[in-house]
Amino acid sequence: MKEKIFIIGAGSVGGHIASNLKLYGIDRFQIKFLDDDVKKIGSTFMGYPIVDKIEFLLTLDEPAFVVMGVAFPNIKKSIFDRISLSSNFEYMTLIAKNAWISEDVEIGKGCIVYPGCMVNYGATLKNFVILNMNCAIGHHAEIGNFSSLAPGVCIGGHTKIGDCVDMGIGSCTLQNIIIGDNSVVGGQAMITRSIPDNSKVVGVPAKILQ
């Protein structure tokens, strides 16, 4: 019998994973989806069943793997908080076979690294980080828990991105930048100076929205 993977979220991230099982080396697994949208339960998504709500994981009586297939940082954190008391499943980190990960990189649990991403030496991806297609992470950069980087994000060396940060498509930072927790960075923004927690920034150079 195949080992089971439950993908949380029958949406864009989950769809990408289910469409590219070989790319992530998980084509031997039995795939099932969990989603809190009751209209989806009992149907299929990308050819795989949507079996129940997310709390179903708390009832598991046998070990399984879980993929956090959700892009939005605060929703990822909320889901983790809801199901974190269970110990009968393991969060799986997925790295596309055509991503480049240097030696001396730390990657936490529940991360997803899409095709074309590059992560340089000394970098750290904490738990439940998503790097969408073609992101570039500079040396000794750190990406905080639950943060998500949209396609084409470029992070300069020694940059620190906090927890639950949402980086828009094509946004970039200079070196030695700090982006505070729970911040949102607009698409194509260029971060040239550090920004505090709970900021929303846009533009070139990026400015904090009042």
Q: Say whether 187 counts as a known binding-site residue.
A: yes
Q: Annotation-wise, does 25 bind a ligand? A: no
* pLDDT score for 119: 98
Could you tell me the domains of the chain?
4-92 (3.40.50.20), 93-203 (2.160.10.10)
pLDDT for 14-46, tens place per residue?
A: 999 999 999 999 999 999 999 999 999 999 999
Q: Which pLDDT score, from 0 to 100, does residue 142 have? A: 98
pLDDT one-digit tens code per residue, 47-87: 999 999 999 999 988 889 999 999 999 999 999 999 987 77
In this prediction, residue 33 carries a pLDDT of 98
Query: Which residues, 6 or more positions from 114, have their beta carbon under 8 angstroms from its beta carbon?
Result: 16, 96, 99, 130, 131, 132, 133, 134, 135, 151
Q: What is the pTM assigned to this prediction? A: 0.95
Task: For the chain, give the mean pLDDT.
Answer: 96
